[in-house]
Amino acid sequence: MRAIQLVRHGRPGTLELREVPAPQPGADEVVVRVEACGLNHLDLWLEEAGLPLNIGLPRTPGCEPAGVIAAVGSGVTAWRAGDRVAVQSNLTCGTCEYCQAGEESMCLAAELLGVQRDGGLAEFVAVPQRALNRLPDGVAFTTSAALTLAGSTAMHMLTQRTTVKPGDWVLAMAGASGVGSAAIQIARGLGARVISTGSTAERRSLAVGLGAEAVVDTADPRWPAEVRRLTGKRGVDLVIEHIGGDVLPRCFECLARGGTVVTCGATAGREVTLNLWPLFVKQQRLVGSYSRNRADLEATLEWAAAGRLRPVIHSQRSLDHAAVSFQELRDRRVLGKALILPHAR
Ligand SMILES: [Zn+2]
């Protein structure tokens, strides 16, 4: 079969389109014919060895595949060839105390698909059956590949790591990103009033199209003051943050008393300086969020099936043109999600 393989780390790393043996399912695994796979910042961290993991090369990236089961292992009874599936990127153990409690996002032994084992930028991928979610009728493979990771991450942030009440003000950072575009729609669906951010007019208009009632320009350093102005100086109840670096401390400038910043990422930097005085005086919270529980992905796919959550798809390319998509991702030119369709030519 054809697969993209990372053969040397770097920025850019060396990615090659190769002919490799098709995977066979282990006893507890299925092989999925990959119809679509989303690209993510995780793919860049793999590329540049930016994760605290030892990764053997070559490695096929791709943590967000969707497709049809082509073969099942000898121990698999709940799935059969022909089933349409979304594949979860965090391959959880199913046995630790957190998995047992339905908090799979805290699994003690999770592996990342497309990082610690070969992923979905290939015509076929072998995955443990625990990684599968049934794709509801009417949810396209492309929709799944655009929402499985970022959409369910936003669902986890908004419904598991905190709660949103109707009428709450929610600031969804970077509304043209995968997490941000989903966060706007989910927060709106929960009854919140949503403000988003964007550094270009194109990004801001995309956020408005998804339901943000106001969008602030983060190219202007006074953007937190604009958020306060929009909320009558009160500030927002919740910030959905996934950028890190200099952005995270500024989110607290936007936050109301008793408000919460939930963060799930740090693409702009992992170390930040935080002024603790306003944090405790205003009784605010900073909450970490990682990955998703099975229930979050199920909810995400249900919302998609009901038309309440729609993906923002930037591009769809074949394996032959995946290098173009990787370059756009490195250059931060992707609005929404870049998809690879491994069987397209
Ligand atoms: Zn576990």
Question: pLDDT per residue over 215-244, tens digit each?
Answer: 999 999 999 999 999 999 999 999 999 999
Give the per-residue pLDDT at 232: 97
Length of the chain measured in residues = 345
Q: Given the DSSP bridges, would you call strands 255-263 and 236-241 parallel, antiparallel or unpaired?
A: parallel
pLDDT in 10s for each residue of the chain, 345 residues: 999 999 999 999 999 999 999 999 999 999 999 999 999 999 999 999 999 898 999 999 999 999 999 999 999 999 999 999 999 999 999 999 999 999 999 999 999 999 999 999 999 999 999 999 999 999 999 999 999 999 999 999 999 999 999 999 999 999 999 999 999 999 999 999 999 999 999 999 999 999 999 999 999 999 999 999 999 999 999 999 999 999 999 999 999 999 999 999 888 889 999 999 999 999 999 999 999 999 999 999 999 999 999 999 999 999 999 999 999 999 999 999 999 999 998
Residue 107 Cα to ligand 1 middle (Å): 4
Residue 52 Cα to ligand 1 middle (Å): 19
Residue 55 Cα to ligand 1 middle (Å): 21
DSSP letter, residue 172: E
Residue 292 Cα to ligand 1 middle (Å): 12
Give the per-residue pLDDT at 265: 87
Residue 106 Cα to ligand 1 middle (Å): 7
Angstrom distance (rounded) from CA 128 to CA 108: 17
Residue 99 Cα to ligand 1 middle (Å): 4
Residue 102 Cα to ligand 1 middle (Å): 9
Residue 97 Cα to ligand 1 middle (Å): 7
Residue 132 Cα to ligand 1 middle (Å): 15
Q: Residues 253, 226: contact at Cβ < 8 Å?
A: no
Give the per-residue pLDDT at 304: 98
Give the side-chain half-sphere CA count within 13 A for 256: 16
Give the per-residue pLDDT at 267: 84
> Residue 12: is the preceding peptide bond cis (ω within 30°)?
yes
Residue 101 Cα to ligand 1 middle (Å): 9
Residue 35 Cα to ligand 1 middle (Å): 28
Q: Residues 173, 192: contact at Cβ < 8 Å?
A: no
Q: What is the CA radius of gyration of the chain?
A: 20
Residue 165 Cα to ligand 1 middle (Å): 31
Residue 162 Cα to ligand 1 middle (Å): 22
Alpha helical stretches, state H, the chain = 41-47, 97-100, 141-147, 150-159, 178-189, 201-209, 223-230, 247-253, 276-281, 294-305, 322-330
Residue 168 Cα to ligand 1 middle (Å): 34
Give the per-residue pLDDT at 189: 98
Give the per-residue pLDDT at 34: 98
